Amino acid sequence: MRNGNDVLVVGAGIVGSSTAYHLAKAGANVTLIEQTHPAGGPSGKSSALLHAFYLMPELSQLSIRGREILVSLPEIAGEGSFVTEIGMMWVCGRDNEASWKAAAERIRGEGARIETLSPQAFADAAPDFALDNVALALWEPEYGYADAFGATNAIARAARAHGAKILQNTLVEGLRRQGDRITGVTLTDGTVLEADTVVLAAGPWTRRLLATVNLDLPLHVERHPMAVLDAAGQARKVMPFAWCDDISCNYARPDNDGVILAGTWAGGGTGLRHEHAGRPRFVENPDSYMEGVEESESVEILETFATRVPAMAELGIRPGYAGLYDMSPDDLPVIGAMPGVDGLVVSAGSSGHGFKTGPAVGEAIAKLVTEGAQPILAPFSPDRFRAA
């Protein structure tokens, strides 16, 4: 251990749970603190689409490793499978065709299966989908989606099995600072917990906790509504794969056969950022935002599918739900040692696409704490905002 063996991890989302698991496995004395329960925040509401496709190599590599960890949960946690490998299909127009093709070639070299489909090959693979403006499709047969709540809880249980202490229903009121060192946290009942390292994996609550020790990062929070479509047992017929459409700015996946989850998509680190995709949806206070979804919001989401997947228009609309995205200014996660202090590692700003990478991010953070800087995390360093 570089700084000492005692580590506090704040937040039991996918990142905090995985960090605690990997630290405990490496022999650290870990306490994982969560205000509700594992996956009680955004991780538990994640659509959890899995794919290796990213324009940035480090994100692809973290996704590939993230899937490996999720797929190996039966061995790691001694529990069932939390991954549904129905494949992930992407389509884009002319503007992204060249960069997406190049990324697919790179990703093949990194060991994931990803096929480049011509418009005709896409039409053959998805005969009920319209071809309008599709210049290129990508098909990732090994990917699909995960059960985000189940997987996060399984990893947290595996952390506990390796000796991590989990404090549930426990709210961290603030970090503790002595000079240039973070020394622990204070809980709302006044309890002080000290540690050699604090890992802050608190998602949308990150800025609030940083402010308690006069630190800050340029993060903001957005509400992300999901439509839940009643597919009457036909979900996989209407939406046979996990889907992302860069032209219509939407994504979807079946949830078994009963329903299809659908949302708008703004880029998520894979291409141009689509400013028109329902933004902005700023949330001031992550403790009180509208968790339900108005029917008009579901209809708005559904309308983005009208041309591409006409069968979606026939589905019933169930009550939807909304989760929170903790956003960074460049849509990339913010992971690494917090500048200006010792003893604090932060993971935040996953910008709506951090479930698939989360298991691997936790593993890399554990290595950062025990061994020192990890090259795979370098592009995500909070240092990039130092001048801002």
Ligand X SMILES: Cc1cc2nc3c(=O)[nH]c(=O)nc-3n(C[C@H](O)[C@H](O)[C@H](O)COP(=O)(O)OP(=O)(O)OC[C@H]3O[C@@H](n4cnc5c(N)ncnc54)[C@H](O)[C@@H]3O)c2cc1C
Binding site for ligand X (CB under 6 A): 10-16, 33-36, 40-43, 45-49, 171-172, 201-205, 209, 224, 226, 323-325, 347, 350, 352-356, 358
Q: How far is the CB of 120 from ligand X (least distance, A)?
A: 28
Which residue lies nearer to ligand X by CB, 135 or 224? Answer: 224
- 26 within 8 A of 364, measured Cβ to Cβ: no
The DSSP output letter for 101 is H
Q: How far is the CB of 340 from ligand X (least distance, A)?
A: 20
- Angle of CA points 309, 313, 316, to nearest 5°: 130
Helices 148-161, 358-371: crossing angle, 10 deg rounding: 30
Which residue lies nearer to ligand X by CB, 22 or 356? Answer: 356
In the complex, which residue's CB is closest to ligand X? 203
Q: How far is the CB of 325 from ligand X (least distance, A)?
A: 6
| Closest C-alpha among 159, 165, 210, 209 to residue 188 | 209
Which residue lies nearer to ligand X by CB, 59 or 238? Answer: 59
Which residue lies nearer to ligand X by CB, 333 or 343? Answer: 333
| Closest C-alpha among 140, 144, 199 to residue 175 | 199
Which residue lies nearer to ligand X by CB, 129 or 205? Answer: 205
- 351 within 8 A of 319, measured Cβ to Cβ: no
Q: How far is the CB of 303 from ligand X (least distance, A)?
A: 19
- 110 within 8 A of 61, measured Cβ to Cβ: yes
| Closest C-alpha among 193, 142, 133, 156 to residue 44 | 156
Which residue lies nearer to ligand X by CB, 204 or 254? Answer: 204
Q: How far is the CB of 341 from ligand X (least distance, A)?
A: 18
Helices (H), the chain: 14-25, 42-45, 57-71, 73-77, 94-109, 119-125, 148-161, 206-211, 235-238, 295-303, 358-371
Q: How far is the CB of 127 from ligand X (least distance, A)?
A: 25
Q: How far is the CB of 146 from ligand X (least distance, A)?
A: 8
Amino acid in position 43:
S
Which residue lies nearer to ligand X by CB, 91 or 135? Answer: 91
